[in-house]
Homo-oligomer: A and B are copies of this chain.
Amino acid sequence: MDVIGKDDAGRRWSIGEIARASGMTVRALRHYDEIGLLSADERTASGHRRYTERDVRRLYRVRALRALGLSLEEIASVLADSEGDLAAMRDLLTAQLRGLEAHAVRIQQLTHRLHGLLEQIDGALMPDPDQFMTTLEMISVFETSFTTEQREQLARRRTELGSEAVEAAKTEWAGLVEELLRHVQDGTPVDDPQVRALVGRWDTLASGFHSDGEDGERTKAAAQRTWEENSEEIGRGLPWPVDRMRDLVHYLERARQAG
Which residues of A come within 8 Å of B, CB atoms? 10-11, 13, 17, 20-21, 23, 53, 56-57, 60-61, 63-65, 67-69, 82-86, 89-90, 93-94, 96-97, 100-101, 103-104, 107-108, 110-111, 113-115, 117-118, 121-122, 126-127, 129-130, 132-133, 136-137, 139-141, 143-144, 148, 234-242
Label chain A's interface by main secondary structure: helix
* A114–B130 touching, CB < 8 Å: no
Give the shortest distance, in Å, between A222 (CB) and chain B (any CB).
23
Residues of B contacting A114 with CB < 8 Å? 68, 93, 96-97, 100
Q: Are A136 and B64 CB-contacts (below 8 A) given A53-B239, A148-B23, A239-B56?
A: yes
* B137–A60 touching, CB < 8 Å: yes
Give the shortest distance, in Å, between A46 (CB) and chain B (any CB).
22
Residues of B contacting A60 with CB < 8 Å? 137, 140-141, 240-241
Q: Give the contacting residue for A93; candidates B23, B61, B118, B126; CB below 8 A.
A: B118
